[in-house]
Structure 1
Amino acid sequence: MVAVEWLATLAATGAAALVGAAATDAWQSARAGFARLFGRGETGRQELAERRLDVVEAEIVEAAPDERDAVRQRHSAVWQTRLADLVEEHPELADELRALVADVTGQLPAGQRQWVQTNVARDHGTVFAVQGGDLHVTDRPPSPQE
């Protein structure tokens, strides 16, 4: 069984790359890659994915500039669920999805690259996280003033 946090992170990253590519020069490559992933070698499934992906691009392109972020967020949520379901049912596709995300993200204009980080602390745990930098943590007992 796939760990929930890992699956959610991969699905969110995939959805962000997919929706971020819509209406950019990276779209055709992203569309082809995600349709192939969802098709899993079956023409009917791939064609269904292509039609769904065409809706994503059309709605983003047709949205008024002040509505595009909301449209992207809506599609991102839908595709995050679809990707999570796909990888949960077919965990062997996880590496292919990771490679596709890396490829698509690398093609995006700098302003449309998104980073997703999910950190979860449970059972009195502590999370120390950073993106794009260094983090130094020193374990010391709390002082009486704290």
Structure 2
Amino acid sequence: MLDQALIALAASGGTAVVTAAGTDTWAGLRQAVARWFGRGDTQREQAELERLDQTAIAMEAADPMEGERARIRQEASWRVRIEVALESMAGAERGQAADELRSLLVEHASRGGVSAGSGGLAVGANADIRAGGGSIAAGVIHGGAHVGSPTVPDPSQG
């Protein structure tokens, strides 16, 4: 049985695989994940490359209505594969494999977490968008936001 930290790591791995599929970071992450699963066995590494390619094909082939379900299925599949791989390892080997997985996710996945199309701007942290002098500023926000006119203070509040 895996502890919560390793379960969370496996979930992050599954998300990273699916998020990177079809992006500029796919080739590097794909190789690193296959190497991680292969653990020095070139045949197993090749089998993992084929599984990863199938994931990329499935994500690309999913129509817009099915896209979210395909993403969820693929993430869950990779999460379980990572969990099973970690569960099959003994203590010291498991710890080393977990450290290697964390490192490869930081190295490969974090670069692919944010992207924008032609003419777009993508920010992986905070962005401050301002306009002055009659200009217009715009942004797309994924997360919580409130847009509207500020409330007028009660005159008794000064």
Same fold (TM over 0.5): yes
Q: Following the alignment from structure 1 to structure 2, what is the Cα–Cα distance between the partners of residues 42 and 109?
A: 29
Q: Following the alignment from structure 1 to structure 2, what is the Cα–Cα distance between the partners of residues 70 and 36?
A: 28
CA offsets 1:83-107 (integer angstroms, 9 cap, x no match): 0111222302000000111122222
- Report how far residue 70 of structure 1 moved: 1.2
Asked if structure 2 preserves the Cα contact closer than 8 Å seen for 1:7 and 1:88, the reply is no
| Residue matched to 2:49 | 50
Q: Following the alignment from structure 2 to structure 1, what is the Cα–Cα distance between the partners of residues 2 and 64?
A: 38
| Residue matched to 1:76 | 75
Letter in 1 for 2:83: A
Written as runs of structure 1 = structure 2, the 5 A alignment for 1:1-146 is 3-90=2-89, 91=94, 92-110=96-114
Asked if structure 1 preserves the Cα contact closer than 8 Å seen for 2:9 and 2:102, the reply is yes
CA offsets 1:26-80 (integer angstroms, 9 cap, x no match): 1111110000001110111001101110100001011112322211110100110
Name the % identity. 35
The structure that is helix-richer by fraction is: 1
DSSP 3-state at the match of 1:55: helix
Q: Could you list the runs of 5+ residues in structure 1 that have no partner in the other structure? A: 115-146
Asked if structure 2 preserves the Cα contact closer than 8 Å seen for 1:15 and 1:80, the reply is yes
DSSP 3-state at the match of 1:41: coil
Structure having the higher Rg: 2
Q: 1:73 to 1:111 in 2, by over 3 A?
A: farther
Q: Following the alignment from structure 1 to structure 2, what is the Cα–Cα distance between the partners of residues 34 and 105?
A: 11
TM-score by length of 2: 0.66
| Residue matched to 2:136 | none
Number of corresponding residues:
113
- Give the RMSD, CA atoms, in angstroms: 2.1
TM-score by length of 1: 0.71
